[in-house]
Structures are given as structure tokens and as C-alpha cells.
Amino acid sequence: MPQTAYLPHIAYDSVIFGFSEGDLKILIMEYHNTGLFALPGGFVQLQENLNDAVLRGLNERTGLTDIYLEQFYTFGDFSRFDPEVMRTLLEANGIRPDDGYQWMLDRFISVAYYALINYEDVTPRPDALSDSCEWYPVNELPELILDHRQIVERAIQTLRDNLDRKLVGGNLLPKKFTMNELQNVYEAILGTKLRRTTFQRKMLAAEVLTRHEKHFSGKAHMAPYLYSFK
Amino acid sequence: MPQTAYLPHIAYDSVIFGFSEGDLKILIMEYHNTGLFALPGGFVQLQENLNDAVLRGLNERTGLTDIYLEQFYTFGDFSRFDPEVMRTLLEANGIRPDDGYQWMLDRFISVAYYALINYEDVTPRPDALSDSCEWYPVNELPELILDHRQIVERAIQTLRDNLDRKLVGGNLLPKKFTMNELQNVYEAILGTKLRRTTFQRKMLAAEVLTRHEKHFSGKAHMAPYLYSFK
DNA sequence: CATCATTGTCTCAGTTTGTGACAATAGTAA
DNA sequence: TTACTATTGTCACAAACTGAGACAATGATG
């Protein structure tokens, strides 16, 4: 990461949502030998579109290319500047700031994005600086560096606000899913239980779903239809 | 504007909304001797909060201090980089880039905000580089530099989306206003006519208004109540 | 074939919204 | 003083939408 390759003072952070075992989860990285946890983030190349930089980072971590991605806020408080945290990260990886990494200790403004992906499609990959990149339920996050906790809170709030307006819930599921699975996603995002019949009626009335064949789970009850988003 | 005072590659642009004569309007600056029109914008000082930088800029242009301000998107495409436009602006003002202004010809990422202010409270002030800072109806904007047209479009869209959710319409009016004036603001923002009785019922049911004395305009009809937001 | 959990759909009541009606008001004109 | 007019605040009714439960159909099990 030589200094010349990236725009200084500008970073991005991504809140990558997945859904499994009934929980809304996000990807969190742990840095080598530090016990420090952070959102996956990165920098923007000198001639690269901001959005493309984020997609590039997501692809490196998840292997996915077609990702539902939305920018939601840019965090620009001076107080989010904490060179000691970055110094710790670099030193734990045997990097001397003097060797062209001084710029990483500067103040950064961070553009935050959230992504919705199908949990099953992903095997999280750590990067050079991190031990691990793992799913954590949003209610059981470790302590995060800097203001990353606030970034997550705001991501969840934005996701909730957009849930009905943009009908984005389906991006957290496989292409085909049952109505019950979709309802579970909504409940995990909103943090509340929903009424089955009302939910079903609303989704069908929205005319955004295509109904496919039935899905036989082997359980002893009526088989539900599979749906996909139009 | 010596280079050391500002973060490089980072700017902000502001879409400042006002309401008068039945139209939604925004403030547009015209640069000296160029015929170029642009949104009011600026840069962030090295130790300044991003939000504070925007408030500082708004205060310089409008004289106002308590301003309803909302960040809505960060524009980061490489294609918005056009050094010729900036060079024209500087040269028209007799500034040589070599004299410490080279950084203004670099690529910028711009964080966009919109503000809602009471038209009557403002006497727009041009800055050192601009001839004028004037109100334009959103439907009669001049051609704007770079991607400023898109920024305006997105600001209006965000304002529409937030109108009911955040009940922000009142920020475009004096403290006290009639129900009809408030409805006119809504209609200007949404670009559609609304039904009088439905609008009145919805606003009163929201329990966000305080009813004050009647307002006698001198016209030959029933005088409306004045309202203010709680 | 009886049992059981789950699903798709329907019904009914309660609430919200679209639409027009109507009396009250504050001026103007006779 | 008395019509007359434009506008306002409120109400009434119908239409649309939502919450809550009922119920038959289904797909396995034993």
C-alpha cells in the first residue's frame, strides 16, 4: 500500500449484512495480535470511482460480484481521528509507519455503505492485516474500534427505514425462498414479530414476487410455495 | 486559501432550499467573468468537523446560525473530476494555480447536504470568487458546472422522501404560518396538488402543530388560524 | 386412516383515507 | 343594514387498508 496509490484522508467502511439461523449478522474483522475488531474498510485509488472501490473491497472479502450496496452516511467528525489505534494495527503487523505508511495515521473521513448478501454464497476471507473475517449477530458484536459501533447502528436504522420503501429484504436470501423465510428476515431486521397473515397479504399485494413450485421439506405439513423477486 | 488549511480531495456542496411566491427555490452562485453557475460549496479545515464546515459555509452565505441541515449523499465518481472548470474559475479571478492553489485542480470527493431555511430571513451573500448568490426556482435552474445538476436532483428526491417521515416542511416557513401556506410548501416540494381537507386532517392528527391566534389578511373571507411546529 | 403442524385464503371489525357537503367568517358592494 | 363572495374549519359518508382470528387443504407420520 504505497501512499501514491490511494486518496489521502478518505476511507470507506462497509456493514455487510447476512442472515442465518434466524439472526441478522454482519462481517467483522479481527486484526492480528491486537484483539481489535473493526468493520471491513479500505481506501480509494487515485482514479477509481468511490463506489467501485467499495465493490472491489467487498469482492476481496466475499468473492461476490453482484452485490446489493447502498451508501448511507459519511462520517466526518474530527474526533474519529485516533492515530494510536492505527499505529497499534500497523505495529502488530510489523509495519513501520515511516516506510511509506505515515498517511494511514492521518485524519480520515469515512464514507459508510451497507451491503445485503446471501449468507450461503459467502466464505469470508481475511485480508493481509487481519486474522479473521467472521459473521457476528448484530446483537452480539464485540467492542469495535473508533466509531464503528455508531456506523453499525446507523446502518441498521437506515436498513429498517428502507425495508418497506425499497423492498430490499430479498437480497439476504437465496433467489428462491418461502414466505416464512422472508418473514424471518423482516423480523430479524426490525427486531419485532410480525403477523403471518398480514405479512403474506402485504407482500403479495405489492406485486413484486413471482410464485414458483412448492418446496417439499420432508416435514409433516402443507408445503409452502417458493417465491422470487421479480 | 493556502493549501495547508484544508483537507485535500474533500469538498462539500450544499443545496439550500427556500420557498417564496409559490416556488421551491435554491441558492446558486455565479462566478466572476465566467458565466459558470454552481452550488455553494467549500472545504474542510484540517481539524474541523465535516458538519461544522458546512454550517460555517452556510453562515457565510446566509448569515443564519440555526439551520436545518441534512447530509444526503457523497459523490465520488472519478468522472466528476474536471480540472479545466476549476482552472477557468481561478484564472477568471486572477489567481495562478502555482501560487498555492494547485490542490484545487485535483480530484475531489464531495459530500452533499441540503438545508431548509426561511426565505425571508436571508440576504444571500456572494463570496470572494463569485458575482452573485441568488435564488432560482428549482424548475428554472441555469446550467450548472460538473455534476451539480445531479446533486440537486438527488437533494429534491431525498427531501420528498423525508417530507412525511421527518415533517421538515415547516423549516421553509416563518415560525408562524397558516395551514394553507404549509400546504403550498408541500405542494411545491412534491410537485403535485394536495387535497385541502385531507392535508389539514393529516397535519392536525400528527399532533406536531400548535394553534395560535387567527391571522387577518384583510381579505374578504374567514380568517385562518396561525400554527407553529411544537 | 387418524393425527399434527403449517400454509393459503377468507371473513369481519376497526382504522385510515378520499371526497364532497356545509355552516361560519371577514371582508366588499349595494 | 343587508346581500354577496371567497375561504376556512369541521363533519359525514364511502372506499381502501390493516389487525386479528377462523378454517380448510396439505404432506408427512405411525
- Does the pLDDT of residue B165 top 90, yes or no? no
- Does the pLDDT of residue B1 top 80, yes or no? no
Q: Kindly identify which residue of chain A lies nearest to residue B52, measuring between CA atoms.
A: A77
- Does the pLDDT of residue A3 top 80, yes or no? no
Q: Kindly identify which residue of chain B lies nearest to residue A166, measuring between CA atoms.
A: B161
How many domains is chain A partitioned into structurally?
2
- Give me the mean pLDDT over the A202-208 stretch: 94
Q: Which residues of B touch A46 (CB under 8 A)?
A: 107
Q: Is there contact between A223 and strand D, defined as CB under 7 Å from any strand atom?
A: yes
Residues B27 and B83 in one domain: yes
Q: Which residues of A touch B7 (CB under 8 A)?
A: 9, 107, 109
Q: Kindly identify which residue of chain A lies nearest to residue B76, measuring between CA atoms.
A: A50
Residues A212 and A134 in one domain: no
- Does the pLDDT of residue B4 top 60, yes or no? no
Residues A26 and A112 in one domain: yes
Report the DSSP pairing between strands A6-20 and A109-116: parallel
Residues B127 and B191 in one domain: no
Spatial contact of A131 and A89, defined as CB atoms under 8 Å apart: no
Long-range contact pairs involving B122-129 (C-beta distance under 8 Å, separation at least 24): B122/B18, B122/B62, B122/B63, B122/B64, B123/B62, B123/B63, B124/B27, B124/B61, B124/B62, B125/B60, B125/B61, B125/B62, B125/B63, B126/B29, B127/B29, B127/B60, B127/B61, B128/B93, B129/B31, B129/B32, B129/B89, B129/B93
Residues A24 and A86 in one domain: yes
* A46-98 pLDDT tens trace: 999 999 999 999 999 999 999 999 999 999 999 999 999 999 988 888 889 88
Chain C nucleotides with an atom closer than 7 Å to a protein C-beta: 3-11, 17-21, 24-28
Q: If pLDDT is split at 50, 70 and 90, which confidence band does A126 have?
A: confident
Residues B158 and B209 in one domain: no
pLDDT at B3: 44
Distance B198 CA to C17 C1' (A): 8
Q: Is there contact between A201 and strand C, defined as CB under 7 Å from any strand atom?
A: yes
Identify which has the larger pLDDT, B131 or A229. Answer: A229
Residues A86 and A106 in one domain: yes
Burial of A40 (0-12, 13-18, 19+ CB in 10 A): buried
For residues B124 and B136, what is the distance between their CA atoms, to the nearest angstrom? Answer: 12
Spatial strand order in the sheet of B209-214: B177-178, B225-229, B209-214
Residues B155 and B183 in one domain: no
Q: Which residues of B touch A51 (CB under 8 A)?
A: 76-77
Range of the domain at A179: 173-229
Residues B86 and B132 in one domain: yes
Residues A115 and A223 in one domain: no
Q: The domain spanning residue B184 has which CATH number? A: 1.10.10.10
Q: Which residue is nearest to nucleotide C29 (CA to C1')?
A: B220
Q: If pLDDT is split at 50, 70 and 90, which confidence band does A44 have?
A: very high
- Does the pLDDT of residue B132 top 50, yes or no? yes
Q: Which of A169, A187, A220 is the last residue of a domain?
A: A169
- Does the pLDDT of residue A164 top 90, yes or no? no
Q: Which of A169, A201, A219 is the last residue of a domain?
A: A169
Q: The domain spanning residue B121 has which CATH number? A: 3.90.79.10
* B43-68 pLDDT tens trace: 999 999 999 999 999 999 999 999 99
For residues B185 and A17, what is the distance between their CA atoms, to the nearest angstrom? Answer: 38
- Give me the mean pLDDT over the B5-9 stretch: 95
pLDDT at B70: 97
pLDDT at B131: 79
Interface test with B, best of A4, A14, A45, A109 (most B CBs within 10 A): A109
- Give me the mean pLDDT over the A112-116 stretch: 98
Identify which has the larger pLDDT, B210 or B129. Answer: B210
Query: Which range in A85-99, B124-138, B169-183 is most confidently predicted, on average pLDDT?
Result: B169-183
Q: Is there contact between A218 and strand C, defined as CB under 7 Å from any strand atom?
A: no
Mean pLDDT in chain B?
93
Q: Which residues of B touch A50 (CB under 8 A)?
A: 74-77, 109
| Residues of chain A with a CB closer than 8 angstroms to some CB in chain B | 7-10, 44, 46-51, 71, 73-79, 107, 109, 111, 161, 165
Residues B213 and B152 in one domain: no
For residues A225 and A99, what is the distance between their CA atoms, to the nearest angstrom? Answer: 59
Residues A134 and A190 in one domain: no
Q: If pLDDT is split at 50, 70 and 90, which confidence band does B226 have?
A: very high
For residues B152 and B17, what is the distance between their CA atoms, to the nearest angstrom? Answer: 10
For residues B103 and B124, what is the distance between their CA atoms, to the nearest angstrom? Answer: 28
For residues B41 and B39, what is the distance between their CA atoms, to the nearest angstrom? Answer: 6
Q: If pLDDT is split at 50, 70 and 90, which confidence band does A128 have?
A: confident
For residues A143 and A148, what is the distance between their CA atoms, to the nearest angstrom? Answer: 9
Task: State whether ipTM is beyond 0.90.
Answer: yes
Scanning every strand, the nucleotide with its C1' closest to B224's CA turns out to be: D8
- Give me the mean pLDDT over the A194-215 stretch: 96
Closest partner CB to A10 (pick from B79, B109, B161): B109
Q: Which residue is nearest to nucleotide C25 (CA to C1')?
A: B222
Spatial contact of B123 and B26, defined as CB atoms under 8 Å apart: no
pLDDT at A120: 93
Percent of chain B scored above 70 by pLDDT? 98
Mean pLDDT in chain A?
93
Scanning every strand, the nucleotide with its C1' closest to A219's CA turns out to be: D28
Q: Is there contact between A198 and strand C, defined as CB under 7 Å from any strand atom?
A: no
